């Protein structure tokens, strides 16, 4: 997973905060889409795309944290 090591921490943290929590008001899309996923109402392709788009940076950050703690 050398590609994960090449990703800068700052980019992942800022991307997670900005894209993962956008829009800030009334509720971040990521929280809304995860709630829809657990409710079973995540059916529209646009909602699934939103989940992947808004969750990509937080997921990469989580993977990098786990990789840094456990592997190294």
Domain borders along the chain are 2-71
Note the pTM of the prediction, 2 decimals. 0.82
Per-residue confidence (pLDDT) for residue 63, from 0 to 100: 94
What gap in Å lies between CA 37 and CA 71, rounded to an integer? 30
> Which 8-state DSSP code applies to residue 35?
H
Look at the block and give the residue holding tokens 């995540």. 42
Average pLDDT taken over every residue of the chain: 90
Look at the block and give the residue holding tokens 């800030």. 24
The model's pLDDT over 20-41, given as tens digits with 9 standing for 90+, comes to: 888 878 888 888 889 999 999 9
């Amino acid at each position: 997973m050398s590609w994960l090591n090449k990703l800068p921490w700052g980019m992942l943290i800022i991307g997670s905060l900005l894209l993962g929590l956008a829009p800030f008001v009334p509720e971040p899309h990521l929280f809304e889409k995860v709630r829809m996923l657990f409710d079973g109402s995540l059916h529209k392709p646009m909602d699934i795309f939103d989940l992947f788009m808004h969750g990509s940076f937080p997921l990469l950050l989580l993977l990098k944290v786990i990789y840094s703690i456990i592997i190294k």
